[in-house]
Amino acid sequence: MDEYGNDVWNYAYFLTKSTEQADELSQEVFIRAYSGIAHFRGECSLKTWLLTITRNTTFTYRKSRFFRSSLWGETLPIHTEQVNTSQGEMKPEKWVHPSAEAEAISREYVHEIWDIIMALPDKFRELLLLHLKYELTTGEIAEMLGISAGTVKSRLSRAKAKVRKQWKERSE
């Protein structure tokens, strides 16, 4: 729970948009994981397995009469300084502490981007979260969602295009 507790809670929060529901679901996920650990076959990472349990538990919960929506306000500020590698690629070198003004502007942009992402249909929104925030591979996402890797790649591409289009429209 120490290693993956935040990931489970954040994913539950993303799916429900409620801190209270994320709290309840996180507890339920770890109870289910504990009681089902003997059935864990190791065909995927523990993180992928827990996120799959989170997804399934959340969807079961959403079908119940207790599910209620609310707004999601989490931002994901990430600041790194990048340097050129010997191959000419850009890679993160170190964490940078931006000025308060730059941080406020960044938070605003990130919030706007997540607003756009949250307005996407579930099938695109969920893929972006799993790919961008949890850094799951297309194969892991495909296995978790029960769809082909090609479908994951296609939906990710379409989701990113939708976000770019909405961002451009907001910027004009």
Q: What does the alpha-carbon distance between residue 130 and residue 19 come to, in Å, rounded to a whole number? A: 19
Q: Are 170 and 116 in contact (CB under 8 A)?
A: yes
Q: Are 105 and 135 in contact (CB under 8 A)?
A: no
The whole-number average pLDDT for the span 107-133 is 84
- Domains, the chain, ordered by start: 5-63 (1.10.1740.10), 99-166 (1.10.10.10)
Backbone angles phi, psi at 18, to 5 degrees: -145, 125
> Which value, to the nearest 10 degrees, does the dihedral of the CA atoms of residues 10, 11, 13, 19 take?
-40
Q: What does the alpha-carbon distance between residue 33 and residue 37 come to, in Å, rounded to a whole number? A: 6
Judged by DSSP in three states, 93 sits in strand
Pairing of strands 80-84, 90-95: antiparallel
The pLDDT tens digits for 14-25 are: 888 888 888 989
Structure tokens at 62: 């959403």
The pLDDT tens digits for 44-97 are: 888 999 999 999 888 887 765 333 332 233 333 333 444 455 555 544 444 444
